[in-house]
Amino acid sequence: MRLRGEIHFDAALSEAEIEVAGRVYGRPMPRLAYLPCGGTLRHAPPLLKRGVEHLVAVDLSRASLTVGLTRNVPEALWSKLSVHHADVRSVSEFLPGGGVRFAFLGGNSLGDITDIEGHVAFITSLAAALAPGGVLVFDYVGERYPPDGADAATEWPETYHGDDGDVPVVDRRTRQVRPVPGTAMSILRFTSEVIDAQTGNPIVEEHAYDKLIVPDSLLIQQFAEAGLELTNAGRVADLSPYHRERIRRRGDLGMLGKPDCFYRAVRI
C-alpha cells in the first residue's frame, strides 16, 4: 500500500523498535547479526548504527527485499548486508556454522506462518540459527488481540500517496478469531480496506490476511522443545517512550501498538 504511515518506510518506528530490541537483548550488539523475515530491511540501518558490522537478512518476498534495499538502506551500507531471497526454514548455508549471537524478528512475523507444522519448523530453524547462549528478540501480539468488542473494528485517518498527489483516506480494519481445532491456538483474520475520506470510494479494495495466535504458555513450551528459553519482556508501550507517545497521540500502530510485546529467547 502507499500510505504515509506505512510501517515499511517508517524510519522513526523502526529505530524505536531496534532501541527496544537492544535493551531486551541486554548486551552490546555483536559484530554479526541475523534478520529473519527481514522484509523491506527497515531494521537494517538502525541495527548497523548500533554496532552490528554485518547483517544477514532473509525473506521470502523478493519484491520486499528489492524495494526495501533501495528505499530503506543507503548505498553506503550495502556492503555490510548479505540479503537472501529464501525461506528462513532453510538458511543454514547463509549463516556461520556455529550460529549467531543475536537475531531480530520484527513486525510480528512469528504469526505469519499459520500452518502449525510450518510454525513449529519456523521456531526450530530460528533456534538452529543461534549459537549456544545466543539470543533471538522478537515482537508478537499473540493472545492479546481481543476477539470482539470495540477493538474488533478500527478506523483511522491516513494519507494515500496517489499518482496525482496525496489523498486523505480512511484506513478500515476488522479482525476475527477462529480456533485451530484440537489446539490452544487460533487464527486471526484481518480485513483491511482504504477508502477516500471525501467520496467514500475504495482506494485499496478490501483484502484479508491471517496471523497465528499462540498463547504465551504454549509458546514457551514450543520454544523449549526447540531448545530455547523464552521470556516475555513486556509490552512495547512500557518499553518504548516513542511507542507510548505515538499510541497516545495517533493510535495508528495497529499490531505494533498497544498489545504488542517483546520477547527474548535464549538458546540453551
- Which residues are at the interface with ligand SAM (CB under 6 A)? 8, 37-40, 42, 58-61, 64, 87-89, 106-109, 112-113
Residue number of the CB closest to ligand SAM reads: 107
- Would you say the C-alpha torsion 206, 106, 263, 17 has a positive or negative sign? negative
CB of 95 to ligand SAM, least distance (A): 13
- Of residues 89 and 264, the one with the C-beta less far from ligand SAM: 89
Minimum distance from residue 250 beta carbon to ligand SAM (Å)? 19
| Least spacing, CB of residue 239 vs ligand SAM, in Å | 16
Residue 2's SS3 state is coil
CB contact burial 10-25 (16+ within 10 A = b; e otherwise): beebbbbbbbbbbebb
Scan for cell 480494519, then name that residue. 173
Closer Cβ to ligand SAM, 80 or 84, answer by number: 84
Give CA 32 to chain center in angstroms.
20
Q: Can you point out the beta strands (E) in the chain?
A: 32-36, 54-59, 81-85, 100-105, 130-140, 153-162, 165-179, 186-196, 202-213, 228-235, 261-267
* Pick 14 or 186: Cβ nearer ligand SAM: 14
Looking at the Cβ atoms of 112 and 196, the one nearer to ligand SAM is: 112
Strand order in the sheet with 153-162: 153-162, 165-179, 186-196, 202-213
Q: How far is the CB of 139 from ligand SAM (least distance, A)?
A: 8
Q: What SS3 class is residue 213? A: strand
Tally the residues of the chain. 268
Spatial distance between the Cα atoms of 91 and 144, rounded to a whole number of angstroms:
31
Q: Which is nearer to ligand SAM, 180 or 197 (CB)?
A: 180
CB atoms closer than 10 angstroms to residue 44: 27
**Cβ distance to ligand SAM smaller for residue 63 or 224:** 63
Q: How far is the CB of 106 from ligand SAM (least distance, A)?
A: 4
The enclosing H or E element of 163 equals none
Query: Least Å distance between CB 107 and ligand SAM?
Result: 2
Q: How far is the CB of 170 from ligand SAM (least distance, A)?
A: 22
Q: Which is nearer to ligand SAM, 60 or 128 (CB)?
A: 60
